[in-house]
Every structure is written in C-alpha cells, then in structure tokens.
Amino acid sequence: WQTGLMDCCSDCGVSFCFYCLGCQVASDMNECCCCGGSVAMRTLYRTRYGIPGSICSDFCIILWCPVCSVCQIKRDINKRKKLRLF
C-alpha cells in the first residue's frame, strides 16, 4: 500500500460517504457498485498490484475498519492514476 490504513485524514479529497466511496472504488475497477467495500474487492486490488497480505488480513481489516479500508484503496487508486500506473 502507498498509504497506511489509518491515513484517512491525509487526503481530504476522498469522499466521507462510505457507500459513495465504495461505488467509486468499484467503478474505478470496472466492478459492480455493491462490491466496493467487500473483502473480494480488497483482495482483488491487493493481488492485482502485488501488495503483500492475505485473504485473512483483508477479512479482518474489512470487519474492523471498513471505512479506513475503502479510503485506503481509493487513495491508492488516486496515487496510481497520477503515476499513470492504474
């Protein structure tokens, strides 16, 4: 990950509506809007970009910090877009 899980305040340009943000993430990844905040989406993103972790860690993060997780993915997408790596 290019930012930490708890770096939610580092990018005020990221939406604070969990459902809207989940839809933005899913849309960025050409997936169904309902999948944005799921374990499957986090695992897909992590494996696509070679980010270390496991399905178990993805599950735990989504379970205990779902908003932070979706914010982290969106920040990572935004950074990759700026670098033209997305």
Structural domain spans, the chain: 18-81
pTM, two decimal places: 0.87
In the Cβ-directed half-sphere of 84, how many Cα atoms lie within 13 Å? 0
At 21-49, the pLDDT tens digits run 899 999 999 998 888 889 999 999 999 99
Cβ atoms of residues 4 and 64 within 8 Å: no
pLDDT of residue 45: 95
Structure tokens at 14: 């990221």
Mean pLDDT of 13-17: 67
pLDDT of residue 43: 96
Reported confidence tier of residue 11, pLDDT bands at 50, 70, 90: low
Cβ atoms of residues 69 and 42 within 8 Å: yes
Tokens 């305040």, residue located: 9
